[in-house]
Structure formats: structure tokens, C-alpha cells
Amino acid sequence: MELITIHKISGVILLQSGLHIGAGKDAVEIGGLDNPIVKNPLNNAPYIPGSSLKGKMRSLLEARLMGERPETRKSLEKGKPCQCGKAGCPICVIFGVSGSVSTEGNLGPTRLLVRDSLLAPEDLELFKKGELPMEIKYENSIDRRTGVANPRPLERVPAGVKFAFNLGFRVYKGDKEDLLDWLFKGMRMVELDALGGSGSRGCGEVRFLDIHVDEQLRYENLDGIKIF
């Protein structure tokens, strides 16, 4: 397939509430002493793994789109990702399908590359100076018989912190013009939903700001993006 260009999409993720992207202990240590967040092992700075952002956008877009087609509605109901492999499916084209899926025509490579989002320069400076402490939030599970609260600490990146996001978006000959719009819809859905863990309890409210495409400002924010 002929590659036409690779767009660079960049901007800021502003935390509106504390962000908890677990370092992996959550699953094995429910109720354990700590629920640490992912950090760069070299400088201990928190970051947003590309896989977290990509996975969240994908799952929200799947919830938005898969119900519209009978052949994908079944997979959605089973909680499975879209693997329809159709050239007209924005999800399979943008996010890719597993290698075992036979695709109609040639979908080509995954269009979207989501890099890790690192602390924005000003926040990284604060962090290096020790002036950006992470937050420990206590969540209580309440014993239904005794009413006694059992606090569970949850580490979060505090609200107000900014990360720099950086995405690559490959365009191949014949790609539909509106493909990139689905990415912005996906980002808007993450704003309306949440990023990371404990979203239903207030964590992970984010805003995407100063969204640039190839160094040109495309959106100051995503308020105007319609998801339906």
C-alpha cells in the first residue's frame, strides 16, 4: 500500500481529576497496601502509557460503532473487540486487527500510533525539583453489616497536572478523508468518559487541549466535537 503521509498529532492532556493508571498490582492485590501508578523507571515520573489511551479510545469507539452493524453487534454484546476486518470499518482500519483475522481487501497497517504521554515540560521540572508530589487517595469499602469503613489507598497523579501527548496517524492511498475525525471523536469520548482506573469514582477526568496536526493548531479543545 502506498503511504501518503504520517500526520503528527500532538497537544496537552490536562488532568481535571486525579489519574490512576495502575502499575499492575491492582489485579493481584485487591485490598492490598498500595495501588501504585505507572512510572518511568529511570526518573520515577508518572506517564500515560500509549496502550492505556489507545485502548480506551478503541473500546469507546467500539461501543459507539459496533452496535450499528448486525455482524459486529454480537461481538459487542460478548464484550469482544471489533475484528470484522472490513475496509469500511474505522475501528479495524485505525486501530488494527490481530494477524489471524482475514481482512476483506487489504486493510494495511494500523493507522494510529499512540506514544506514551510524558509529563509536560513545566510539570516535569516541578517533578524533578520534588515539587510535584503524587496524591494518595483513600477509598473506603464499607462493611455492609457493621458499617465499618476499610480504607484502601490509591495513588494518583493530582488534578491540574499536564501531560504532552503525541500520536502518529498514517495515511495510505485510498483512505477515507473522515478517518482522522474518528480519532478526534475517540478523544472526545475519553473526555466524556474517563482514563485509567476508578473512573466511575471520579478518577481520570481529562481534557485534550491545543491539539495540533502537523504543528498546526487544529482545535483549542474538543468541546465542539460531536460523537453522534
Output 87 or 159, the one with its CB closest to Zn ion. 87
Q: Determine the Cα–Cα distance for residues 105 and 188; give it in Å rounded to an integer.
A: 30
Find the part of the chain contacting Zn ion (CB under 5 A) among 18-26, 49-57, 87-95, 196-204.
Answer: 87-95
Find the part of the chain contacting Zn ion (CB under 5 A) among 21-29, 86-94, 124-132, 215-223.
Answer: 86-94
Output 21 or 97, the one with its CB closest to Zn ion. 97
Find the part of the chain contacting Zn ion (CB under 5 A) among 12-20, 26-34, 43-51, 75-83.
Answer: 75-83
Output 68 or 131, the one with its CB closest to Zn ion. 68
Q: Determine the Cα–Cα distance for residues 93 and 109; give it in Å rounded to an integer.
A: 8
Output 83 or 166, the one with its CB closest to Zn ion. 83
- Taking the complex as a whole, the smallest distance from the CB of residue 194 to Zn ion amounts, in Å, to 24
Alpha-carbon separation of residue 7 from 4, 130, 159 (angstroms) = 10, 35, 30
Print the SS3 string covering 144-157: CCCCCEEEEEEEEE
Alpha-carbon separation of residue 122 from 11, 72, 119, 216 (angstroms) = 14, 44, 8, 22
Output 84 or 203, the one with its CB closest to Zn ion. 84
- Taking the complex as a whole, the smallest distance from the CB of residue 81 to Zn ion amounts, in Å, to 8
Binder among 84, 167, 195, 222 for Zn ion (CB under 5 A): 84
User: Does 82 help bind Zn ion (rule: CB under 5 A)?
Assistant: yes
Q: Determine the Cα–Cα distance for residues 59 and 174; give it in Å rounded to an integer.
A: 25
Q: CB-based burial of residue 23 (10 Å sphere; 0-12 exposed, 13-18 middle, 19+ buried)?
A: middle
DSSP single-letter state for residue 201: G
Using alpha carbons, select from 49, 17, 41, 57 the residue that is nearest to residue 202: 17
For the segment 99-158, give every residue that binds Zn ion (CB under 5 A).
Answer: none
Binder among 9, 38, 61, 89 for Zn ion (CB under 5 A): 89
Contact at 8 Å (CB) between 224 and 28? no
- Taking the complex as a whole, the smallest distance from the CB of residue 225 to Zn ion amounts, in Å, to 21
User: Does 92 help bind Zn ion (rule: CB under 5 A)?
Assistant: yes
Contact at 8 Å (CB) between 211 and 7? no
User: Does 93 help bind Zn ion (rule: CB under 5 A)?
Assistant: no
Binder among 60, 91, 154, 189 for Zn ion (CB under 5 A): 91
Residues that bind Zn ion (CB under 5 A): 82, 84, 89, 91-92
